[in-house]
Amino acid sequence: MTVTVTAVDVHDVRFPTAAAGDGSDAINRGDYSASYVELRTDAGVTGAGFTFTNGRGNELTCAAIEALAHHVTGRTVAEIFADPVAFWRSLSADVQLRWLGPEKGVIHMATGALVNAVWDLRAKLAGKPMWQLLAELPTEELVASIDFHHITDALTPGEAAAILDKGLIGLDERRAGLERDGFPSYTTSVGWLGYPDDKVRALTRQAYAEGWRAMKMKVGGPPADDLRRARIIRAEIGPDALLMMDANQVWDVDEAITNMTALAEVDPYWIEEPTHADDILGHARIARAVTGLTGGRCRVATGEVAANRVIFKQLLQAEAIGVMQIDACRVGGVNEVLAEILMAAKFGVPICPHAGGVGLCEYVQHLAVFDYLRVGTSLDGRMVEYVDHLHEHFVDPVRTREGRYLLPEAPGYSSTMKPESIAEFRFPDGPVWR
């Protein structure tokens, strides 16, 4: 792999989703956007990565990527992967830019975009979809890709290696099962907060007819409205299908417990982001309370805004989550997600990745499949979020069948956008925004 990255191109791509209420919840009402990175190489292959933002401010993540890009330009793929942690730290611990985080927010999301683009490039050069590249890597190489700094009190390199070695057993059978049946999924498309009741009912009925047996609704509006909408969905899906709720951090801790007490009547499977994303102890208190409400079924889920592996470590250590929702590009890309997946396995918490937005489904399907094949080795409680927005802008979009993701087959991380979509939706000069 003497392939050299010759240039890093950054594109501010925004889709006008806010007007339709798509993606609307208790906090966010945005224009789904991507700070999109293309790594040009002397081999003619282009690595693609991005981080997701909610519209205004996408220029900030783009600028942060530009500020970090010199760590990638001029390097060969071989030297990057010869010492992956050194490469990762060149971005996440840049001696001047680290002050802007550290390892959180705009600067860390920019790291994620670049790191993911490097991994996409590697997978394309290997001719393998990302899940396969990761699942087939030797244990030593996977462990060597992880920065264990600040997490060794939860997971040591030796423990990670033991989990990954064990994951080799039965891998071919698990892969055959996924090729046959696909990966379990749930849909978030039925219950955005900005949708009127009739639309919620119609979308729920349609999703159930299409085979979905797990659905998520947004909560965090007036409590009476949340309960009314929840009853509509529960009535449509019957008692056996799973109903998840997502408050997008809007509640205080006691408010979350009060509101979930009222919503317990519709048997929620999880409450997602019940309070501020940084409130580890608050999540732990809510988790203890909601478990008591529903005989142990209901759990707390979070992760889409968890800034880094250290936050996930604490959520796990504090027994604050029963579902871990890794995000592909909120944190520092594939390398950091590997640490999170392995910590979840060590603590016995299932991973249900966060998706939606733009391109997040495309990314996380690979991570969930890798987790199942090589780390978690069980589908029990595992589901990938699905939202049916904006897939048409990707060269290798996700495919679903009867509520399950089908295995990606094209080489890479499914992160490549169509050139015509970039041209049309580029901000502020694309035709859509002029």
Query: DSSP strand E in 222-380: where?
Result: 242-246, 270-272, 299-302, 323-324
Task: Please identify, among the stretches 27-35, 243-251, 342-350, 374-382, the one whose residues bind Mg ion according to the rule CB under 5 A.
Answer: 243-251
Task: Please identify, among the stretches 42-50, 70-78, 126-134, 269-277, the one whose residues bind Mg ion according to the rule CB under 5 A.
Answer: 269-277
Nearest residue to Mg ion on Cβ basis: 246
Pick 68 or 244: Cβ nearer Mg ion: 244
Binding mask 190-229 for Mg ion (x = CB under 5 A): ----------------------------------------
Q: Could you tell me the smallest distance in angstroms from the CB atom of residue 246 to Mg ion?
A: 4
Pick 54 or 335: Cβ nearer Mg ion: 54
Number of other residues whose CB lies within 10 A of the CB of residue 345: 25
Residue 393 falls in the annotated catalytic set: no
Q: Could you tell me the smallest distance in angstroms from the CB atom of residue 272 to Mg ion?
A: 5
Task: Please identify, among the stretches 70-78, 191-199, 205-213, 266-274, the one whose residues bind Mg ion according to the rule CB under 5 A.
Answer: 266-274
Cα distance between residue 29 and residue 23, in whole Å = 7
Pick 102 or 194: Cβ nearer Mg ion: 194
Please provide residue 285's backbone torsions phi and psi, each rounded to the nearest 5 degrees. Answer: -65, -45
Pick 29 or 89: Cβ nearer Mg ion: 29
The most distant pair of C-alpha atoms in the chain lies apart, rounded to whole Å, by 61
Burial class (CB in 10 A: 0-12, 13-18, 19+), 434: exposed
Binding mask 92-111 for Mg ion (x = CB under 5 A): --------------------
- Strands 400-401 vs 404-405: parallel, antiparallel or unpaired: antiparallel
Q: Could you tell me the smallest distance in angstroms from the CB atom of residue 364 to Mg ion?
A: 13
Name the amino acid, one letter, at 411: P
Instruction: Go through 165-184 and write b for each residue having 16 or more CB atoms within 10 A of its CB, e for each that does not.
Output: eebeeeeeebbeebeeebbb
Give the three-state DSSP class for 235.
Answer: helix
Q: Under rule CB under 5 A, which residues in 271-290 are in contact with Mg ion?
A: 272
Q: Is 327 in the site for Mg ion (CB under 5 A)?
A: no
Cα distance between residue 232 and residue 217, in whole Å = 11
Task: Please identify, among the stretches 5-13, 125-133, 265-273, 285-293, the one whose residues bind Mg ion according to the rule CB under 5 A.
Answer: 265-273
Cα distance between residue 109 and residue 118, in whole Å = 14
Complete DSSP assignment for 230-253: HHHHHHHHTTTSEEEEE-TT-S-H
Q: Under rule CB under 5 A, which residues in 72-91 are in contact with Mg ion?
A: none
Radius of gyration of the chain (CA): 21
Catalytic residue, chosen from 11, 128, 283, 354, is 354
Which of residues 22, 31, 147, 246 is near Mg ion by CB under 5 A? 246
Pick 31 or 246: Cβ nearer Mg ion: 246
Q: Under rule CB under 5 A, which residues in 138-167 are in contact with Mg ion?
A: none
Q: Could you tell me the smallest distance in angstroms from the CB atom of residue 127 to Mg ion?
A: 34
Q: Could you tell me the smallest distance in angstroms from the CB atom of residue 27 to Mg ion?
A: 10
Q: Could you tell me the smallest distance in angstroms from the CB atom of residue 3 to Mg ion?
A: 37
Lookup: tokens for 330: 């909120």
Pick 103 or 246: Cβ nearer Mg ion: 246
Helix (H) or strand (E) holding 10, with range, is strand 5-14
Q: Could you tell me the smallest distance in angstroms from the CB atom of residue 222 to Mg ion?
A: 19
Closest CA to 384 of 373, 397, 372, 375: 372
Query: In the Cβ-directed half-sphere of 182, how many Cα atoms lie within 13 Å?
Result: 14
Name the amino acid, one letter, at 72: V
399 DSSP assignment:
-
- Note if the bond before 428 is cis, omega within 30 degrees: yes
For residues 75 and 9, the answer to whether their CB atoms sit within 8 Å is no
Q: Could you tell me the smallest distance in angstroms from the CB atom of residue 396 to Mg ion?
A: 24
Pick 23 or 411: Cβ nearer Mg ion: 23
Residue 218 falls in the annotated catalytic set: yes
Lookup: tokens for 170: 């039965």
Catalytic residue, chosen from 218, 366, 389, 393, is 218
Pick 23 or 403: Cβ nearer Mg ion: 23
The answer to whether the Cα torsion of 217, 362, 27, 336 is positive or negative is: positive
Q: Which residues are catalytic?
A: 218, 354
Q: In the complex, which residues of this chain contact Mg ion (CB under 5 A)? A: 246, 272
